[in-house]
Amino acid sequence: MQNIGIFYGSSTGNTEAVAKKIQEEFGADIASTIDVVDASAADLEKFNNLILGTSTWGIGDLQDDFEGFLSEITNANMDGKKVALFGLGDQYSYSDSFVDGMGELYETLEEQNCELVGETSTDGYEYDASRAEKDGKLVGLAIDIENQDDQTADRVADWVAELKNQFN
Ligand SMILES: Cc1cc2nc3c(=O)[nH]c(=O)nc-3n(C[C@H](O)[C@H](O)[C@H](O)COP(=O)(O)O)c2cc1C
């Protein structure tokens, strides 16, 4: 049976709410949500499949709690794990740094021995630049609560349906 750890960092609750929606789509019997403020490398190592979600603050900065959690990620043994990313951001107010935090997470995980899954199309977004865009794709699921919340439920459902085929 799949076991999935959904780790999130959230300053005003938006990323936490999306983490819970993702959990609902998988089912709470196989997916757990964990606030990174309370989490360690050992917690990451408990799961075969990981979903990491951060919002972006400042101009392109990782959410504060996630900034502190980066060293736990680099210290964890991630061998053989499948990892998917999601990011919260505002594509109109921060059009040059849209979901950059998710891009920073990707760059950190690229250095580790895990398999990154869950990339998505840029279709439907209108930002100017994003660190999370690599080779014309977004490295994970981008959610914009401020401007496109009417699409959140469908975006989450479609993404989780893909991940169900990819996770161990
Ligand atoms: C001061 C401030 C700075 C922000 N900077 C960015 C940014 O650089 N890029 C981006 O995509 N979103 C940015 N955002 C939007 C947040 O990422 C967005 O509101 C997100 O949903 C917050 O999620 P959270 O409540 O889980 O932290 C910023 C928002 C604020 C208020």
Q: Is the pTM of this model over 0.75?
A: yes
Identify the three-state secondary structure at position 78: coil
Residue recorded with tokens 């580790």: 112
| pLDDT score, position 142 | 99
Which of 81, 50, 86 lies closest to 159, judged by CA?
86
CA distance 140 to 151: 16
Q: Give the position, in ligand 1's atom list, of the atom nearest the Cα of 18.
A: 26
| pLDDT score, position 2 | 76
Do residues 12 and 64 make contact, with C-beta atoms less than 8 angstroms apart? Answer: no
Tokens representing residue 3 in the block: 């076991």
- The helix (run of H) or strand (run of E) holding residue 68 is helix 64-75
Ligand 1 neighbours (beta carbon < 6 A): 10-15, 55-60, 63, 88-90, 94, 97-100, 145-146
Q: What angle do CA 16, 13, 156 make, to 5 degrees?
A: 45
| pLDDT score, position 42 | 98
Mutate which of 93, 97, 141, 151 for ligand 1 pocket (most atoms within 8 A of beta carbon): 93
Please name each of the domains of the chain with its CATH number.
4-166 (3.40.50.360)
Q: Give the position, in ligand 1's atom list, of the atom nearest the Cα of 127.
A: 11
Per-residue pLDDT of the chain (168 residues; tens, 9 = 90+): 679 999 999 999 999 999 999 999 999 999 999 999 999 999 999 999 999 999 999 999 999 999 999 999 999 999 999 999 999 999 999 999 999 999 999 999 999 999 999 999 999 999 999 999 999 999 999 999 999 999 999 999 999 999 999 998
| pLDDT score, position 129 | 98
| pLDDT score, position 61 | 98
Residue closest by Cα to atom 6 of ligand 1: 57
Which of 140, 134, 103, 98 lies closest to 119, judged by CA?
140
| pLDDT score, position 1 | 63
